[in-house]
Structure formats: structure tokens, C-alpha cells
Structure 1
Amino acid sequence: MSTPLKTAVVVDPYSTGILLAPRLRARGYEVVAVQSRPDLAPSLLRSYQPDDFAAHILHDGDLDALARTLRPLAPAFILPGNESAVELTDALGAVLGTPGNSPKLTAARRNKFMMIERLAAAGLLTARQTMATGAAEAVEWAAQAGWPVVAKPMASASTDHVYFCDTPAQLRAAVDAILGSRDFCGSANERVLVQTYLDGLEYVVNTVSRGGRHYVCDVLLSAKRALNGSPFVYDYYRLLPPEEPVAQALMAYIRRVLDALEITDGAGHAEVRMTARGPALVEIAARAMGPAGSTTGIAAGTGHDQVDLLVDAFDGAAAVGPLLDGHYRFQADAMVLYLPVLVSGRVEALPDLSILDGMASVRGYALVPRVGDEVVPTLDLTQVLAKIYLAHPDRAVFERDWAAIRSLEDRLQPTVA
């Protein structure tokens, strides 16, 4: 008689979430997909891999009904695959009694205003901020708080509708643009978050937690550049050696952030500015880093993929236990490099990236748009042309290949109509 399969649930298995089911199935799990809402962004839904799942359940908003459907399967745990999954994952886990983050602070882990208020109350350095429902209100606050300011949705991702404003006119335009849009996960933006600008370089800190203990998977320099009329276009993520003083300071700060927001179990993906006064959180997400492939690309420099560690934290707590309270080792320079779109139109042909195959540092790459897609010049992570993963133990080789790729940027563009 065969042993019945264990069951795991992945909510919104999109973006990096597509990596979870194959790893779980390899460990003997039957995996069930739950879609958190019917109106998720098409850019998320098209990454779904149906063959990885035993079933797909569309949540209609009735949590009790969803729990009744899942309870006979006795899921061992529930994981969020994407930012849109965080709230339902916490709520469903509490109802079914599976390990995870308490829903008590779910709102503060999604709503960026509440998030920063919580950290400020815990004594951590943060931006000053307000919520606005109109442009006049936002401009009045900014005039008192001081320019420049940043305006963005209350709960989104991927630098979606993030605006740097140093004049009233810019802020009014930003507020109007945000209030007339939906966020990256598909929700209507009814209020705008306005914050004082945080000076300094931006970094990413990725973590995995179990039982309130934390492992820092990596610290990355998050470089953005001015391009296509935006000051916030992603350029690259580059792995830092953990011994560097800035990495040490960021890791200590993020452990306090995780504790303040009660991210006790699962992945964390934090963006932090190293200001003149010290680290200050931009935002943190209670899920793994995206887009898909990023965690694997950075793992070439650390030896540990955040997605694998996340699965370990729930399926093999004993395996991940020795890592908790520690941090990664630096094994090679590693980077996720973004190629931007510089043209507009419908894609008739995609660029040939095979020129990258001869570069020693290139571990892989992926084009984002498809033939037939409409593209515009890149402004955020949803609009990039390609993701390129570099890693090499010889820094000179690594930086040579990086420079060569950047020199090809203008040539590696899609043909558009």
C-alpha cells in the first residue's frame, strides 16, 4: 500500500512563487494552488505553471469556505508565492492551524504606512510620512515636512507608481496618477503614501525565519539609475560580502524590523536606505525576492537559494536550524542585471541574446516580453527587457563581462512595429 502524499498549499504561485511547487513535489508533496482573488494582474497570472499543481482553487473572498475545501487535505503548511498572497496566507494559516506568521500584524506587513508607523513606534529609524486622498492635502503636508518627497501606492511592489517629487507640481501630478490607477497586485489605489526622501544608497536584505529566529540569505546593493524620464529604473542587484560594515549594520537593523513586524516564519524581502543617520526601511515584504530567477542567480554567490531555504524552514526545520541567527558566506561576486526596453510598440522580434553565452560570468538570462506584446520604455521591474544572472569568483572577469553587457544595451533591443 503506497504512502499517501503530503499536501502543501501555495497561494498565488506567480513570479518567484513558480519555483516553490517543483521543490515541494521533489520532497513528496502534492501541491495545491490557491488564487487569492479573481482580478489579479495578467502579468502575474501568465507565469502560472498548471502542471505543477494537483488542483487550482479560486478564492472568492469566503475564507471559511476556502478552509472547508482545504481542511480534508490536511495541508502541512501554506506559503505565499507573491506579494498578493501575503494577507490570505496569514489568514488561512491561522484558520487551519498551520505554521506561519500571525495575522495580528498582517496589515502592517502589507500597508506601507502602517509598516513604517510600527517601526517608528519600536524606535527604529524611518522616513516621516502621511496618507493623502488628494493632491492638495499631499502638497500641504510636503510643504511642512520639506522637499523632496516620495509618493507611492499604499501596498504595491516593483517600484510600481513610485514618484520622486521636489516641487508641488510634480507631487500633484504623482498623486493624480496614483489615484487613477491600480497597484501591481490589482487593487484600486484610493490613498497615496507620501514620505520624506531617504538619502543614501539603497540595499536589499533577504531573509528566512523559523520560530522567530532569522537567517540572512544575502545583502545586495540595489542600484537604480535615471533612464527613460524616471530616476528609479532598476539597474542591478549586486551581492555584498557580509563582513563589510554596511552589510553588518543592515543585517542588525533588519533583524529588529522582522521582530517588530512579527515576521516569525517564512521569507522576508526588505529594501533599506543607508542614510547619513543609519539604516532606514523603505519597505519589507513577507515573501521571497522576485522576480523569478533572482534568488537562484544570487545563490551562485552564496551557495544558498532563498527559495530552497524557505522550503527547508517548513519541510526540514532540522536542516535549516543550524543556520538560524546567522548569515550567508560570500563565495563569488553575483549580480542580477536588468536590460531596459528603450523603444515603444508591438514586439515583432526579440533580440538574440546568444552573444552572452560566451561570457564566463553569465549563469543565465531570460527575456521578459514575448512576440506580440506591447512594450514601452522601462520604468519599473514589470517592463524590463531581460534579466541576466552573473556570478564569478574572479572579480576582474565578473566586472569585464558586466561592462561588456552594458556596452551592448542599445543593440539588444526588440524589433517593434
Structure 2
Amino acid sequence: MKTAPRKTAVIVDPYSTGILLAPRLRARGYQVVAVQSRPDLAPSLVRSYRAEDFAGHIAHDGDLAALTERLRPMDPAFVLPGNESAVELTDALSDALGTPGNSPKLTAARRNKFMMIERLAAAGLLTARQTMAGSAAEAVEWAAQAGWPVVAKPLASASTDHVYFCSRPAELRAAAESILGSRDFCGTANDRLLVQTYLDGEEYVVNTVSHGGRHYVCDVLHSAKRTLNGSPFVYDYYRLLPPDDATARALMVYIRRVLDALEITDGAGHAEVRMTSRGPALVEIAARAMGPAGSTTGIAAGTGHDQVDLLVDAFDGAATVGPLLDGHYRFQAEAMVLYLPVLGSGRVEELPDLGVLDRLESVRGHALVPQVGDVVAPTLDLTQILAKVYLAHPDRAVFERDWAAIRAMEDSLQPRLS
């Protein structure tokens, strides 16, 4: 008796949250092939790769036709992005192989943040005003006319990498000089920078899964940042909002229009939005699942639906996601991803024991990011955090008590450095 051939799925850059996709696909009978989009990805991404989850690994050398022909005999059912660096190649491969995915027509606008905001403005959505600058002088000249403060950042990065808040010319000149000539989080050289007018108001995250142009809102999160280590953009926490909250409702309406404008029809979406005095305005959106790894699972403790599971459902053809489309999550418990920062510089000699957190009722898990031997610096963005702590509890008083207790322990939970 012949056995049916195994189904094949391809994951481009299976790093960060992408490491969670392969085990779920293998459990459904898929063999999973990894494709690395480029050779110079950030080492912090590549080292998270789990070779045991994959039937093969292909390093893309830039020849799309050759890569397509190598994959075609495997008859992939679909191609998924595992990380921000994967979005462009995923769209191109899906189109070349004829598998479900987002049209490559707007791929550039899903990665280049200038093009992204221009597209939304043309669709009538509220956005920041912006420019692309090739020099510090050009950036300062534009900001002087647009008005201070402004935000400077790379055109296509992630994880608040090289993001600067600038309230005067000297700060913007320094930011531009830092960005230009550097490489962004995904390894691309920054030969221009994006300068935008500052959006007032609190920041939120909206995570989605789309199928056939219909969208499910997995969660709306308050994305709190704090000033620490000299940066105003250090991530503090993501906290789940009830879907009937007025802010959450407004954000869900707005983000559906964003998804449609950028033609994110099939796959995950991870949007950062400011609730300004004039209404929601997009900071940026990524056509992939929320990172870093574990965040979707942590938030799912409050909603009952993990974005990664729903993403797999949407492409595997499972019946689970169908009834959810055009809808949104339920609020089952308070939930949060809390970030512990690194406060010093040096080589890690010993990591802190986070087991002390397990006595707190709300703690559902935690994960250290650095390893012994790593050289660390004070946290400025999500690439430099010490640890992630996942909290969830149906009792708000218990949840907030435990949250406060963890923050009180922050100084004592630092690694020993040399």
C-alpha cells in the first residue's frame, strides 16, 4: 500500500517568532523547508534557528528563478515569513510558485516605511508627515519647516532599531549620522533615513490574521515604552486591552483599513499605531506575526487564540479560522509581556535566576535573551533586552500586584558582568 506523499511548507527566515511555526506544521503532517533570505542577517536572529525542525535548509543567493526551481519539485503548499527580513522574499516566492500569499505588487510598501505611509495617506488615512533624507543637513532642513519634535529611523527596520526622538537640530544631526552608513536590524545598509513628524498619544499594537482578504483581530495591546538608559523608546510592556474598550474598537476599525490599503490579504499582521488627538495613526505595520518569540503565546493566555496557531490555520485550510474572520478576540484574562532591561555593559559571566518569579501567581513563563559569554550593553531597543516575562491572570488585582513585584526586583535580576 502506497503512503501519501508528505505535504511541504516553506518558511523563510525561521527566526524570532518564526521558530514557532515549524513544530506546529510538523504536527499537522508537513515536512518543513527553511530558506534563509540573505547571508548577512543579524547573528541574534540566525542563532535561534532550530535545524531539527526542518527537512532541509536553503541559503538564498539572490537568484529567485533558481530558488523557485529548486523548491518547485517539492510542491510546497505555501510559503510563510518567519521574521521581518523574510517579507519580500516570501511574497516573491509565493507568486513564483503560485501558492497563497500577499500580492508582490505592494511588497515594497509593506517594508519601506516611507512608501507605507504614503500609501495610507493616499487612501485617506491619518498619518504622520514625512520625508526621506540622504544627509543630516537635508533632514534638519525639512524638520525646521515641518516643526519639532520629529522621529528619525531607518526606512525598513524592526524592533525600534536606530529609532530616535529629536527635539532640536543637534539631536537630529546626531541621529542621522548614526543611521546613515549603518545596517538595519535585518542587515540592509541604511543609505537614507526616514524623518517623520512626531505622533502624540499612547502607542498600541494590533495583531491580525487575514485569509482571502478577510481579517481577524487577534488582540489589541497597549505598547508602553519608558525612558531608560538615555533612550525614550525602551519597551516596558505589552498589555492586552478588552475588545469593548473604546480605544480598542477605534483601532480595530482603523487597522482593517490599513490592511486593505496595503493589500495584506493572506497572513499575519503586526501593527504599531498611535492613538493621537485626531484619531489612530499608523507608526508601521509588518506583514508577519508579532515578535519576539513567545509573545503571541503569552498574549494568547488572555484571549484563547495564539496568532501563530491562527496563521497556520489560515494556510492549512483548517476550519478553525474561517468562522473567526471579520471578527475579533474575546477577553478571558489580563495578559502582558513584560520586558526586563539590561542596565550595565560588559561580558555576561553569570545569568540571573528567574526562578524567583515562578512563585508569583500571574507568571506564566519567562525567557532570558543573552547567553553566558555574550557582550551586552544597556537596553535601548528590543534587540538588547535581558528577558521577557509572560503574565496572565483573570483577577486584575492579583495581576497588578505581581506586575509591581517584578518591577521592584528589576535591579536584583541583573546578570553578573565583567
TM-score tier (shorter)? over 0.9
1:174 is aligned to 2:175: yes
Map of 1:83 onto structure 2: 84
What code does the residue aligned with 2:42 have? A
1:373 is aligned to 2:381: no
Map of 2:159 onto structure 1: 158
SS at match of 1:78: strand
Q: Structure 1 vs Structure 2: percent identity of aligned residues?
A: 84
1:181 deviates by 1.0
- Tell me how far apart the structure 1 counterparts of residues 70 and 240 of structure 2 sit (CA, whole Å): 42
What code does the residue aligned with 1:16 have? T
1:317 deviates by 4.6
1:101 deviates by 0.1
1:114 deviates by 0.1
Map of 1:263 onto structure 2: 264
1:361 is aligned to 2:382: no
What code does the residue aligned with 1:236 have? Y
Map of 1:61 onto structure 2: 62
Map of 1:110 onto structure 2: 111
| Mapping for residues 253-402 of structure 1, pairs under 5 Å | 253-402=254-403
Map of 1:47 onto structure 2: 48
1:319 deviates by 2.3
SS at match of 1:318: coil
Q: TM-score, normalised by structure 2?
A: 0.99
SS at match of 1:109: helix
1:382 deviates by 0.7
**How many residues are aligned here?**
417
SS at match of 1:410: helix
- Tell me how far apart the structure 1 counterparts of residues 88 and 34 of structure 2 sit (CA, whole Å): 15
Alpha-carbon deviations, 1:184-227, whole Å to 9, x = none? 00010010000000000000000000000000000000000000
Map of 2:34 onto structure 1: 33
1:4 deviates by 1.3
What code does the residue aligned with 2:348 have? V
1:33 deviates by 0.2
What code does the residue aligned with 1:5 have? R
Alpha-carbon deviations, 1:17-54, whole Å to 9, x = none? 00000000000000000000111110100000000000
Map of 1:127 onto structure 2: 128
What code does the residue aligned with 1:164 have? F
SS at match of 1:319: coil
- Tell me how far apart the structure 2 counterparts of residues 108 and 319 of structure 1 sit (CA, whole Å): 30
SS at match of 1:401: helix
SS at match of 1:387: strand
| Mapping for residues 96-245 of structure 1, pairs under 5 Å | 96-245=97-246
1:180 deviates by 2.8
Alpha-carbon deviations, 1:365-405, whole Å to 9, x = none? 00000000001000000100000000000001000000000
What code does the residue aligned with 1:241 have? P
Map of 1:92 onto structure 2: 93
What code does the residue aligned with 2:50 have? Q
Map of 2:19 onto structure 1: 18
What code does the residue aligned with 2:96 have? V
Q: Which ranges in structure 1 are unaligned for 5 or more consecutive residues?
A: none
- Tell me how far apart the structure 1 counterparts of residues 317 and 297 of structure 2 sit (CA, whole Å): 19
1:79 deviates by 0.2
1:364 deviates by 0.1
1:3 deviates by 1.8
- Tell me how far apart the structure 1 counterparts of residues 67 and 125 of structure 2 sit (CA, whole Å): 38
SS at match of 1:364: strand
1:318 deviates by 2.8
Alpha-carbon deviations, 1:288-346, whole Å to 9, x = none? 00000000000000000000000000002532110000000000000000000001100
Q: Which ranges in structure 2 are unaligned for 5 or more consecutive residues?
A: none
Runs of 4+ deviating beyond 4 Å: none
- Tell me how far apart the structure 2 counterparts of residues 180 and 116 of structure 1 sit (CA, whole Å): 23
What code does the residue aligned with 2:220 have? V
What code does the residue aligned with 1:366 have? A
Alpha-carbon deviations, 1:153-175, whole Å to 9, x = none? 00000000000000000000000
Q: TM-score, normalised by structure 1?
A: 1.00
Map of 1:2 onto structure 2: 3
- Tell me how far apart the structure 2 counterparts of residues 35 and 135 of structure 1 sit (CA, whole Å): 34
1:414 is aligned to 2:406: no
